[in-house]
A and B are shown apart, each in its own frame.
Chain A
Amino acid sequence: MWFFDALSSGFTRPTDPGRLQMFRIIFGTVLTTRFALALGQGGWDRFVPGSLSLRLAEHRLGPRRSRLLAAAYRPALLIRTAAALALALGAAPRLALLVTLAGAAMELLYLKSPNAVRYTLLTGACLGLAGDLGHGVHIEHTPSAANTWALCLLVLITTDVYWNSAWQKIRSDQFRSGLYLAQWVHTYTQVRQHLPHRRGQYAVPAVVLHRLGNLTDRDVRLWRLIAAVVITAELALPIALLIPQTTPYAVAAGVAMHAAFSCLKPRQLITFSGLTTGTYVAFSA
């Protein structure tokens, strides 16, 4: 497997630099989408005077720093969107990458569970460590060692996401028993009429809500089965992606799994699903 060859050669083994350049384009596209969507659904009005978000920021950062954040917030939303687009198009990619990552890091100051931001920063750092990001939307295929290390780091990070996330799920009785998923869907059926900004935020098929949204013992048992499938898939995917014979099946299974997750919160999972499936280009030699 190229990954272990690359490791044992001390990252001097030539690889196709286009794989990382492809990831640069996917990364830029996903982040452009995330940043553009962050302008809507109340995002532009975050930190307006009297809002709960401003109160929480004051509580967390103190009055002076929260004022700075509120003042820089709207310009930063616009600048980072332009930077992510420039990164996708390959215009001054290193500078664009730095501004994109700074714009993503800003969300660490106010998001409650910033896992997507952390994953963005880690995979973005891999891009920053690559020797050849390419220019424009042209992809270079002449083998070189320029991107070998960065590809290996991307593989390590996505493998960690899958395995650690499986580990956290295994350790959670609530998830393993099926209760978490059953309660999630049940709560959704009960409160969805009251949720703001519903457009694009949820895409749970009606049949799932009707058949699996009632928190009965049967529902919980079915969700327990689905929980076991998710844990198994997360454990198997990184290995299956690296073995050339199983790569196409693993890609199909991974995309299907992320599509299913995305039904729960499509808009919020664009970054995570887009970037994880984007790193598949780093796995496949």
Chain B
Amino acid sequence: MPESMLPAAQIVITIALVAWMITGFTPLPGRWLRWKMFCRATFTIVQLTGTKDGHTEPVNVYDHLSPGSFILGPPQLQTVLDHLTASGRYDRIDGIGRVLSARGEQPVKVVASRVVL
């Protein structure tokens, strides 16, 4: 690239970056440059019991989340329940708890491995 082209390329790239940043303040779709951190989440506090061949034991759903995170919404809870039953670890899982979200607090139940709000 000739010397004189370099600043021009730098300016074009910088303007493109700023334009891309501006889209982060609009409803346009995209994942990059949208820094949604610590602003919205659904939390689930739940006590579960797993049954296998007639024996029951407590199930710790938080063991299956990434280390350092306990944010857990009903769909993610259902994914963990599906994993624990599909893998044959339990025949069924039941329990009760509550969901905390932007809408406040709601009770939640787990009946026969299904999340019921």
Contacts and interface: CB of A to CB of B under 8 A. Distances in A.
Most buried by A among B32, B40, B67, B80: B67
Given A11-B7, A118-B32, A153-B17, A267 B67 contact: yes
B34 A41 contact: no
Contacts of A201: 67-68
Contact of B14 (A152, A171, A194): A152
B71 to A, nearest CB: 8
Indicate the size class of the contact surface on chain A.
35 or more
B39 interface: yes
B28 interface: no
B64 interface: yes
B33 A164 contact: yes
A95 interface: no
Given A10-B10, A52-B83, A164-B34, A268 B69 contact: yes
A184 B102 CA distance: 12
B100 interface: yes
**A122, A161, A179, A180 interface centre (most CB from chain B within 10 Å):** A180
Contact of B66 (A10, A112, A172): A112
A153 B14 contact: yes
A197 B67 contact: yes
B37 interface: yes
Contacts of A188: 70
A187 B45 contact: yes
Interface residues of B, number: 40
Given A174-B101, A196-B67, A10 B35 contact: no
B21 A149 contact: no
Given A10-B10, A183-B43, A174 B102 contact: yes
Contacts of A173: 102
Interface in B74-108: 79-80, 83, 87, 100-102, 104-105
Contacts of B45: 187, 190-191
Contacts of B40: 172, 174-175, 180
Interface in A121-168: 122, 149, 152-153, 156, 160-161, 164-165, 167-168
Given A52-B83, A187-B43, A268-B69, A169 B38 contact: yes
Contacts of B62: 191, 194-196
Interface in A63-117: 111-112, 115
12 contacts: A10-B10, A11-B11, A41-B67, A52-B64, A164-B24, A164-B35, A168-B36, A172-B40, A180-B39, A191-B45, A194-B62, A264-B38
Interface of B: 7, 10-11, 14, 17-18, 21, 24-25, 31-41, 43, 45, 60, 62-64, 66-70, 79-80, 83, 87, 100-102, 104-105
Given A50-B87, A160-B33, A172-B40, 9 more contacts: A118-B32, A149-B10, A149-B14, A164-B24, A165-B39, A168-B34, A174-B41, A184-B43, A194-B62
Interface of A: 7, 10-12, 41-43, 50, 52, 55-56, 111-112, 115, 118, 122, 149, 152-153, 156, 160-161, 164-165, 167-169, 171-175, 179-181, 183-184, 186-188, 190-191, 194-197, 201-202, 215, 261, 264-265, 267-268, 272
